Structure 1
Amino acid sequence: MSNADRTVLAGARLVLPTGVVDNGRLTVENGRIAEAVAADASTTPPVGAAPPLDLSGYTVVPGFVDMHVHGGGGASYASGVAEEALVAARTHLRHGTTTTIASTVTGEIDEVCRQASVLSELVEDGVLAGVHFEGPFISINRCGAHQPDLLRDPDPALVRKLVDAARGTARMVTLAPELDGGIESIRLLKELGVIAAIGHTDARYDKALEGIEAGATVATHLFNAMPGIAHRAPGPIVALLEDERVTVELVGDGVHLHPAVIDLAIKGAGLDRVALITDAMSAAGFGDGLYPLGPLQVRVEDGVARLVEGGSIAGSTLTLDVAFRRAVTLNGLSLVRAAQVLSLNPAKLLGLDDKVGSIEAGKDADLVVLDDAHQLVAVMRKGEWIVGAEVFQVPASV
């Protein structure tokens, strides 16, 4: 192995799944983590090895895993254009999302199939980690920023058509279980090894439970695009929160949910069942203005995205580095717990935790470096610096 294939980071605070190691030493070899341990002053580097990089004063957390994101950098995954999808993925990568599941929006079935085919090639190239179909199998009463006249009942044949179009890269399908074919489609997705997510739903409590029993294991952006909790009609929120088989997505941007509601969801579900997501649209990392969201138009003002017609919230402009910082500073999560809900939990749900989601030997060297204010400083993906390495490219003394 050449020295070029080996990087040592020294002096940083390492956020491991088992706790925080101060003055840590992290070794990367051939794009993977070789070790992550407390620094030992007596450690002698291999003969001819480059001196370690000094990360004293910085915190290193695992690269973030976003299981629900529609775009960024002015580009959308629903465009059906590979170059746009690359822009979106690279935008979020620069904000620490090293593993991305690309989400589509409601459209004509054949068009969404075409988009899935384009995205599947980027999965095969290692840019993306999978495809999430959000719509068209959702409730017209809770459609949010999805075009109502393009919504469809979840006919299992149509669900299979979308999954097949992704050529083995489909990771998740969001649907409303109360619609005709909803329960059957959830069973089909389970058979196909694709996550069935309950969302954009008007389901009653009992129907949501039926969907969970059929195999649904995710709540798509819990609280949003579903009926609220009433004391005689608990609705889908309570069903999804109380079942230990369900992971609940939460959008931590301060627009979709009040921080107190996030606290409530964490207490109700437990930290092992929470995944913070962005649900970001193309304006993320780009700025205010007018943007397409599938066939609809969105106006972004002061970072808040709403449909031009009707004013519904239309995704977010959030990036996961901001979500991490909010989780720590507003929701009071420890560094370890914040890393869990932004990295390890979604990685486990997606079946990717053997490679990503935590700082452990043998996993991909996907790392985010933060300063003491939890601001992003640098990002590494598979051992390659994406941004920020020049900040600390000074050899450490030990």
Structure 2
Amino acid sequence: MKTTLKITGARIFDGNRWHEEADLVVENGRVASIGPQSVSVEASETVDARGQLLVPGFIDLQVNGGGGALLNEQPTLEGIQRICQAHAAFGTTAMLPTLITDTRAVTRAAIAAGIAARAANVTGFLGLHLEGPHLSVARKGAHDPPLIRPMEANDLETLLACMQSLGSLMVTLAPENATEDQVRALADAGVVISLGHTGASFVTACAYAEAGASCVTHLFNAMSGLGHREPGVAGAALALGRLNVGLIADGFHVDPAVMGIAIRSKQGPGRIFLVTDAMSTIGTDMTRFSLNGREILRHRGRLTLADGTLAGADIDMLSSVRFVHKGLGLPLEEALRMASAYPADAMGISGRKGRLLPGTDADFLLLKPELKLSSTWIHGEEVVSLGR
């Protein structure tokens, strides 16, 4: 039986442009139309959203935890559900729960949990992001050095075998510990390969992009920097149009001035998109937690190891959007695209997510004009309501 939802009275951004005095019509979880309020549409449910902004839901491609759960410490279906629920309260409607470098056993458990989450249609679950273990020890960041290792034949087989069951899979790796042939095989199977935690040269980064890498993980962090004689991975991220690039917009991982320079200089069609790199603290009052047996401290918006090394981020997606809009002065439309359309493009899912066009999933947010969340909707169902 067809069910129809109509959201009326909001100013609607479809990912491309604004619609004034229009209604969003949803049928069976998908966008049916955005049309003038003067057109009569019979609906099973009508929501009056006068004074609100209606925008595409956010897509987070790097999120380690939330709601007190960390995928590394709780690599289970329940852990994934908890993370997805926590971030829905901050506007994230689709995500890749992210596993940081860990043991083979934990990696297997996380993959099994991801497959179970997809089978169970966990709300907000898009797939997995495996950040490691095939990284550079020299650019380890907060990753545990003894757990970093080269990609072996059985690792490649595991990734290829789970791809279809997961639906979407991103893998962050370094040329130091994975070959071009391995990257090519994964990319040919539909895995999104992201270069990260690497000291590779610009020439090497270009070669891996040619082999099939299409993303770069948390720009400027744990990678060879942009030099005037050696552009490094950071330079490749900005210069190569085929690369999409994740950015942590918390003001700690990258200075705001450098964020602005990067956004203005990025060569397209690839784009810079927002990621949170969030840990278990989101939605909680936690002040510390454990990762691979090491204590992570939370203090004034920063998460660090005891030696001060940044260890993930303490920010949500809506706060990231506000940061680049209000802090960097980006137009609101572009800030929203960085959290929705561009990550969808990076994952190759723009036909169904990231924009509110006929036939796409009805994943959207109602925001107050000051960019505070009123409600989160996934597949046309209200999953978070903070009051309108």
With the shorter chain as reference, the TM-score category is over 0.9
Greater shift in the superposed pair: 130-139 or 353-362: 353-362
Asked if the contact 2:31–2:359 (Cα under 8 Å) also holds between the matched residues in 1, the reply is yes
Asked if the contact 2:353–2:361 (Cα under 8 Å) also holds between the matched residues in 1, the reply is yes
Alpha-carbon shift at residue 332 of structure 1 (Å): 2.3
Greater shift in the superposed pair: 344-353 or 192-201: 344-353
Q: Show the counterpart of 1:298.
A: 296
Partner of 1:67, secondary structure, is strand
Larger Rg: 1
Q: Show the counterpart of 1:9.
A: 7
Name the amino acid aligned to 1:299.
L
Greater shift in the superposed pair: 193-202 or 182-191: 182-191
Q: Show the counterpart of 2:169.
A: 171
Aligned residue-pair number? 383
Greater shift in the superposed pair: 295-304 or 236-245: 295-304
Pair 51,385 (structure 1): closer, same or farther in 2 beyond 3 Å: closer
Q: Show the counterpart of 2:60.
A: 66
Query: For 1:388 and 1:131, how far apart are their aligned partners in 2?
Result: 27
Consecutive unaligned residues of structure 1, counting only runs of 5 or more, are: 392-398
**Match of residue 276, structure 1, among 254, 274, 277:** 274
Q: Show the counterpart of 1:261.
A: 258
**Match of residue 121, structure 1, among 116, 119, 129:** 116
Alpha-carbon shift at residue 251 of structure 1 (Å): 0.6
Pair 384,231 (structure 1): closer, same or farther in 2 beyond 3 Å: same
Partner of 1:173, secondary structure, is strand
**Match of residue 16, structure 2, among 11, 15, 18:** 18
Q: Percent identity?
A: 32
**Match of residue 347, structure 1, among 339, 344, 347:** 344
Query: For 1:99 and 1:234, how far apart are their aligned partners in 2?
Result: 33
Alpha-carbon shift at residue 352 of structure 1 (Å): 1.8
Pair 18,119 (structure 1): closer, same or farther in 2 beyond 3 Å: closer
Q: Show the counterpart of 1:212.
A: 209
Q: Deviations over 1:353-390 (max 9, x none)?
A: 22211111211111111111111111111111112275
Q: Deviations over 1:160-194 (max 9, x none)?
A: 32443566315111111133x43232122112221
The answer as to 2:151 corresponding to 1:154 is yes
Q: Show the counterpart of 2:89.
A: 94
Query: For 1:210 and 1:328, how far apart are their aligned partners in 2?
Result: 34
Asked if the contact 2:83–2:97 (Cα under 8 Å) also holds between the matched residues in 1, the reply is no
Q: Deviations over 1:278-308 (max 9, x none)?
A: 1111112213411122443211112211113
Query: For 2:34 and 2:373, how far apart are their aligned partners in 1?
Result: 20
Partner of 2:10, secondary structure, is strand
What's the TM-score, normalizing by structure 2? 0.93
Partner of 1:230, secondary structure, is coil
Matches within 5 A, 1:192-271: 192-270=189-267
Q: Show the counterpart of 1:394.
A: none
Q: Deviations over 1:245-304 (max 9, x none)?
A: 100100111111122222112112157511111111111221341112244321111221
Asked if the contact 1:77–1:119 (Cα under 8 Å) also holds between the matched residues in 2, the reply is no
Partner of 2:236, secondary structure, is helix
Query: For 1:51 and 1:203, how far apart are their aligned partners in 2?
Result: 54
Greater shift in the superposed pair: 74-83 or 237-246: 74-83
Greater shift in the superposed pair: 355-364 or 329-338: 329-338
Q: Show the counterpart of 1:39.
A: 37
Alpha-carbon shift at residue 337 of structure 1 (Å): 1.6
Partner of 1:378, secondary structure, is strand
Name the amino acid aligned to 2:22.
G
Pair 44,37 (structure 1): closer, same or farther in 2 beyond 3 Å: closer
**Match of residue 326, structure 2, among 326, 329, 336:** 329
Partner of 1:123, secondary structure, is helix
Partner of 1:257, secondary structure, is coil
What's the TM-score, normalizing by structure 1? 0.91
Consecutive unaligned residues of structure 2, counting only runs of 5 or more, are: none
Query: For 2:45 and 2:343, how far apart are their aligned partners in 1?
Result: 35
